[in-house]
Amino acid sequence: MNYQRKLVLIFFLNFIILFSCEDNSKILNEINIELQEPVGIANQIKMIYTDSTEIKAILTAPKHLDYTNLSFQYSIFPKGLKVDFFDELGNKNEAISDYGILYNSTKILDLKGNVILKSYNGSELITNQLFWDIEKEWLFTEKFFTFQDSSYDFQAYRLDTNKEFTKFQTGELVGKIIVNDSIDK
């Protein structure tokens, strides 16, 4: 009789323990949202962006903080990042910075601190902040920058350009620019 009571008691306790457990993931996400804590932290990451099986960009960073649990989703790269992005011919261009924020909904990457953008053709852009619109493949900044390539060597505030630097607008320029007097027809 004692054995049966112990068995019933053990069964009853297991039943209570089993059914008293609940899924707390929703509560944990709400706590993270209130505290503005990242949903994930990763070290030594490598993110590959593709379009129709073609690699468009490879982002590497020593640390990644994922805030996709918030209503305005973003990711932070607090220890810097490097982005290798490729044109249609597979030519590699490189961007590095000390800090970065990727805004998921707008697909804009905000590069901050010692930003250097090197093109496969030798052109180089240096600034303290650069925004990169990933979908439109467009770069812009309101900060002071320097730009050098085989035809240009100048500094200015404000830049608005495509990734090839073939169409760009700047503020007032300082430096050397080679001007071709011929008119393209």
Is the model more confident about 175 or about 93? 93
- Amino acid symbol at 18: L
Domains in the chain and their CATH numbers? Answer: 42-177 (2.60.450.10)
Is the model more confident about 114 or about 137? 114
pLDDT, tens only, 89-113? 888 989 999 999 999 989 999 999 9
Contact at 8 Å (CB) between 97 and 81? yes
* Six-digit token string for 158: 């404000």
Q: Residue 77 class from Cβ within 10 Å (0-12 exposed, 13-18 middle, 19+ buried)?
A: buried
Backbone angles phi, psi at 3, to 5 degrees: -65, -40
Q: What is the rounded distance in angstroms from the CA atom of residue 23 to the CA atom of residue 26? A: 7
pLDDT, tens only, 7-37? 666 666 555 555 555 666 666 556 555 667 8
